[in-house]
Structure 1
Amino acid sequence: MSKVSTLAVAALLGSAHAWLPNENLHRMEARDGSNMFNVSSRRSVEGRWLTTDGAPLRGVNLGSQFVLEPWMASNSWSSMGCSGQNSEFDCVSLLGQDAANSAFQSHWGSWITEDDFNEMQSYGLNSVRIPLGYWLDESLVYSDSEHFPQGALSYLTQIVGWASDRGFYIILDLHGAPGAQVATNADTGQYASTPGFYVDYQYERALQFLEYLVTQVHTVNEYRNVGMIEIVNEPLQNTDDQTTSMRSSYYADAWNRVHAKEDDLGVHGNAQVHLAVMNDNWGSGNPVEYMNSWYVAYDDHRYLKWDSSVSVDQASYLAASCNDASQSDSPGIVGEFSLSPPDDVQWTDAWTPASNVDFYAKWFAAQMTSYESHNLGWFFWSWKTELGDYRWSYKDAVAAGVIPADLSTVNRASAC
């Protein structure tokens, strides 16, 4: 999670390219034939795809489902026997493989359930972004030195099946890369002291993981609504040798390897997936400097919490979000955002959630409006947490009256 992202679909047009929901080209089919984008639909030649009128993506991240972050799920983390551990790697090392597998499988089967998808659908959400670790493909894990829970694939298949049955658009996100793409961060799954991702043999493992995912997408029915695979979440924010290497080697090879795998599977044109990359605003350099930009979408993470250029007061936050047109790469998504202000003020009178419901409702409306105006749409971080703080939990924000259960009633005019 962390930073700043428009849409001119024409920049991506070619003779054939993977669908995006805002292009008036294609969208997925729900089990019952319902259309989450509320438009009439027809079959296209690929069979899996349906037309849409360009309704925005409105979605949530399934944070801490498959890459468990202790800060947002501390009760579950403790009950699993992981208390005091920094990451999944650390907890598995502590518990041992068999006990860890049992604990994590229990978590995977209960953190997100089919009832959650019923609730999301009732709120008018139509999309999910699912953070994953490369260890989902257990063949990639170094058994003598890496320690991750096993058995997650069947749970992922169940979850994407629930999403597909409801006509949701699905993004699979490589959140935890081999060797860790950043240091000391649980969202990589390993809380490494230094980022070890930026070398050829780790890139190769990540490439094999992408091939593994795209094979699931095109050969397993439950994955039929996956339209995008994000090739790495939030890499280092600099343009030194590491990020140049990542872009010139891994990014370029990711495009080639994924689409070569699709060609091998007999999947062409509009049936192929898009690849998502963090956009230029993220700070890792131009993501398509070395890669083919067809079939590519750009992810922006908009957390004013960590944006030092915006004054920390309610009026400034509303103004910044109302005028947020900073995404220069298109087609774009806002893959993560929240309602949380900086840590040092978040529990002061001006920012406490209980006494500032009206402000947070306006701030959500401002962000939603901007992200739908300048991007394909948005994904709130996250669907649920155990923080007791709706600023990080879409589910709790609806319960608190900050986000309306019917998104068509969002009062955009009140915010901007």
Structure 2
Amino acid sequence: NLIPLAQQFPYGKKPVRGVNLGGWLLLEPFIKPSMFEQFPQNEHVIDEWTFCKSLGQDECRKQLRRHYETFVTEDDISKIADLGLDHVRIPVGYWALDIQDDEPYVQDSWEFLLRGVEWARKHGLRVMLELHSAPGSQNGWNHSGREGIVGWMNGTATGLAYGERTLRIMREMLEHFSQPKYREVVTLFGILNEPYAEKVGLARVKQWSKQAYQVAREVTGLGEGPILVVHEGFSGLGKWQGEMPPSKYDRVVLDVHNYFIFDKYLVGLDLPGKLNFTCTTWQQDVRTSEEKFGWTMVGEFSVATDDCALFLNGVGKGARWDGTYKGSTPAHPGATCQGRTDASKWAPEYISFLRQFGEKQMDAFEKGGGFGWFYWNFKTEGGVNPQWDYFLGVASDT
């Protein structure tokens, strides 16, 4: 029941249902742990920056090309379409287009991105392309390419220069994907994943996002090119009400990423509490945002009920669930991560809860006119982190 690419997808009327191709063109340790397990701990290889720095350009390129070649295959894309999903979100690092000075990255991901888009086209899937990292790092997390610093738009002259450079990279990306040949397939474009408003300042995130909108629509023209997706910066959807009114801003979606497990209060909710929070607070948040902002989507969510997944919080970082993460206390007395990432040890009741949990979230994000959702992630290496693995979740359903 995929809507043929030759027909326009009725955005805003029919919800987007998709998965993320995370950990592919931008490394994430918890999605493919083996890439990071090859290093001794004292080398402190924790993200793509230190990965390439440690290996050196040639070996880094060799390992990354092998990874790009094998982690997402045409079979994966065909499977996503067969599962009845209609979109994929593809995160890509800024270094696919632009590497400067001492940045140790390699540039090979671009050709694989182009190939992935063509596979999506062949199998009738539409693509949301997302600039997932900014020079200087917009959030200091490993999936920005560089963990530990927030150099982007941080109130310094260098931070501002990083912001300008991000706009140039975004422009270049859009110039390519606004060509007529991509009109039917690259229908959504994320200007920047998860800028961390708490560190950068919400006013700066909003200002940069509006600037990015102007640059993007200069490239595409009004009414043309992909729908633009803006992340709310973890400030809460309510803080964006009226910021980019549809009467003045052409086709903009506000993106929120809903997880229970990175918040010390939410991670401690029991299972019924998590379901209840989904069906009340999250559902209402999306509904209100649809009324007060405009189109609102959930670009990332999962069925994770704890943060025990290997490397989820970063290499060597521990978990909030059992209190091994810096500054955390166990979610409840005696909480342990033992056996929690091994799906073969899960009780049937827990597996059926996870299915219900996934369905209720999808339902909540679609109700009240929600724009739609993308599950994080399509898979993890060998099913290593099962709560984050859509393919595994679907397989356990049958």
Q: Assess same fold via TM > 0.5.
A: yes
| Aligned counterparts, 1:234-253, within 5 A | 234-238=194-198, 242-248=201-207, 250-253=208-211
Q: Distance in 2 between matches of 1:313 and 1:187?
A: 29
Quote the residue 1:7 is aligned against.
Answer: none
Residue 222 of structure 1 deviates from its aligned partner by: 5.5
Residue 325 of structure 1 deviates from its aligned partner by: 2.0
CA contact (8 A) 2:183 2:226 kept: no
Q: Which residue identity lines up with residue 134 of structure 2 in the other structure?
A: A
Cα 1:161–1:282, aligned 2, differ >3 Å: closer, same or farther? farther
Deviations 1:105-133 (A, max 9, x none): 11111110100011111110111111111
| Range moving further from structure 2, 326-335 or 339-348 | 339-348
Quote the residue 2:225 is aligned against.
Answer: 272
Q: Distance in 2 between matches of 1:102 and 1:81?
A: 20
Q: Distance in 2 between matches of 1:191 and 1:62?
A: 20
Q: State which of 352, 362, 367 in structure 1 corresponds to 2:356.
A: 362
Cα 1:80–1:160, aligned 2, differ >3 Å: closer, same or farther? farther
Q: State which of 251, 271, 296 in structure 1 corresponds to 2:252.
A: 296
Cα 1:192–1:394, aligned 2, differ >3 Å: closer, same or farther? same
Identity of aligned residues (%): 26
Deviations 1:290-323 (A, max 9, x none): 7953321010111122345545111111111222
SS at match of 1:282: coil
| Range moving further from structure 2, 102-111 or 161-170 | 161-170
Q: Distance in 2 between matches of 1:372 and 1:384?
A: 23
Residue 74 of structure 1 deviates from its aligned partner by: 0.7
Does residue 127 (structure 1) correspond to residue 121 (structure 2)? The answer is: no
Quote the residue 1:322 is aligned against.
Answer: 279
More helix, by proportion: 2
Q: Which residue identity lines up with residue 376 of structure 2 in the other structure?
A: W
Deviations 1:61-83 (A, max 9, x none): 11101110112211244469998
Q: State which of 378, 381, 388 in structure 2 corresponds to 1:383.
A: 378
Quote the residue 1:257 is aligned against.
Answer: 215
Q: Distance in 2 between matches of 1:50 and 1:306?
A: 33
Quote the residue 2:78 is aligned against.
Answer: 118
CA contact (8 A) 1:173 1:233 kept: yes
Q: State which of 100, 105, 111 in structure 2 corresponds to 1:154.
A: 111
Deviations 1:264-291 (A, max 9, x none): xxxx52x322211123863495387479
Cα 1:258–1:52, aligned 2, differ >3 Å: closer, same or farther? closer
Q: Which residue identity lines up with residue 388 of structure 1 in the other structure?
A: V
Q: State which of 333, 337, 341 in structure 1 corresponds to 2:301.
A: 337
TM-score by length of 1: 0.76
Q: Distance in 1 between matches of 2:40 and 2:89?
A: 27
Does residue 63 (structure 1) correspond to residue 58 (structure 2)? The answer is: no
Quote the residue 2:144 is aligned against.
Answer: 188
Cα 1:277–1:283, aligned 2, differ >3 Å: closer, same or farther? same
TM-score by length of 2: 0.79
Residue 189 of structure 1 deviates from its aligned partner by: 0.6
CA contact (8 A) 1:218 1:224 kept: no
Q: Which residue identity lines up with residue 59 of structure 1 in the other structure?
A: G
Q: State which of 378, 392, 395 in structure 2 corresponds to 1:396.
A: 392
CA contact (8 A) 1:384 1:395 kept: yes
Kindly indicate whether structure 1 or structure 2 has the higher relative contact order, using CA contacts under 8 Å at least 6 residues apart.
Answer: 1
Residue 42 of structure 1 deviates from its aligned partner by: 7.1
Q: Distance in 2 between matches of 1:80 and 1:162?
A: 33
Residue 347 of structure 1 deviates from its aligned partner by: 3.9
Deviations 1:345-381 (A, max 9, x none): 5747999752111111111111111111141111110
Q: Distance in 2 between matches of 1:290 and 1:260?
A: 17
Q: Distance in 1 between matches of 2:353 and 2:32?
A: 26
Q: Distance in 2 between matches of 1:116 and 1:318?
A: 30
Residue 60 of structure 1 deviates from its aligned partner by: 0.6
Does residue 86 (structure 1) correspond to residue 46 (structure 2)? The answer is: yes
Structure 1 residues without counterparts, runs of 5 or longer? 1-34, 44-48, 405-416
Q: Which residue identity lines up with residue 191 of structure 1 in the other structure?
A: E
SS at match of 1:306: coil
Does residue 167 (structure 1) correspond to residue 127 (structure 2)? The answer is: no
C-alpha RMSD over aligned residues: 3.0
Q: Which residue identity lines up with residue 114 of structure 2 in the other structure?
A: T
Does residue 203 (structure 1) correspond to residue 163 (structure 2)? The answer is: yes
Deviations 1:51-109 (A, max 9, x none): 68933211111110111011221124446999851111111111221221121111111
Q: Which residue identity lines up with residue 85 of structure 2 in the other structure?
A: L
SS at match of 1:305: coil
Q: Which residue identity lines up with residue 390 of structure 1 in the other structure?
A: P
Q: Distance in 1 between matches of 2:114 and 2:359?
A: 33
Q: How many residues align?
A: 350
Structure 2 residues without counterparts, runs of 5 or longer? 308-320, 322-334
